Copies of this chain bind each other. A is one copy, B any other.
Amino acid sequence: MIRVVLVEPEGEYNVGFIARLCRNFDVKELYIVRPKCDLEQAKNFSAKGLEYLSKAKIVNNLNEALQGVDVSLSTSSIADSQGDMLRKSVTPEEAAKAFGDRHVALVFGRESVGLTREEIEMTDFLVHIPATPDYPVLNLSHAVGILLYEFWKLRRKETRPKVSQDSVMLIEKYVRTVYEHVKRSEGDLDMYVALRRVLLRGIQDEEEARAVIRFLRKTYMRLIHEEE
């Protein structure tokens, strides 16, 4: 199940086209954080996606827009900056393969400046659409279309064994708590980001997830014990 989240979209035509794309690719939810354009005007570009603009959830911040999803993916035309773990990105294909069967929030930034670093940090993964390094900046609605298309392709042929939402949340919880005990400074954040991403990417089934959770929990208990 897919939720499209637009953060402060500025162009009526983009919002309208995105509503149409939501209908084309059977998106379940459209959230808009602090729209900076006229949603009435946007309807002129939404064709048979009109309904999505009428029922879109307008919220005041990204946090609200991420409530209730299993995993959130932010998008950026900048990726893999040297030594910047936060910017380490996955491709739309990898994202669809890993999370296509979950309740996923796809988060898209402003046409002008994209998402802030803080907004990207609020999401679980960063997705980058491969394009020419010479000019990789896609127009907003076209980036949305390509991501929805990749997720749609996967939803047509469901294969991958499921990892439960509970397990995903437990893994995120224990990686975070262990991290809180071993970090020396905020500069260590990249360790946490990297380990969580690697685990969610690498785990193939529920049995494996359970074994990893036991490992993390025992490590956490041991760390707490050491502190007593």
What residues make up the interface of A, taking CB atoms closer than 8 Å to B? Answer: 13, 17, 20-21, 23-26, 45, 47-49, 83, 85, 88, 93, 129-132, 134-139, 141-142, 145-146, 149, 152-153, 156, 178-179, 181-184, 188, 190-195, 197-204, 207-208, 211-212, 214-215, 218-219, 221-223, 225-226, 228
Q: Which 8 residue pairs are nearest across A and B when measured between Cβ atoms?
A: A202-B202, A194-B211, A198-B202, A191-B215, A201-B202, A142-B145, A182-B218, A24-B131
Q: How many copies does the complex hold?
A: 2
Nearest opposing residue in chain B for A224, CB measure: B226
Find out whether the CB atom of B202 lies under 8 angstroms from the CB atom of A215. Answer: no
- CB neighbours (8 Å) of A178 from chain B are 219
Find out whether the CB atom of A153 lies under 8 angstroms from the CB atom of B130. Answer: yes
Counting chain B CB atoms within 10 Å of each CB, the highest count among A24, A201, A226 belongs to: A24
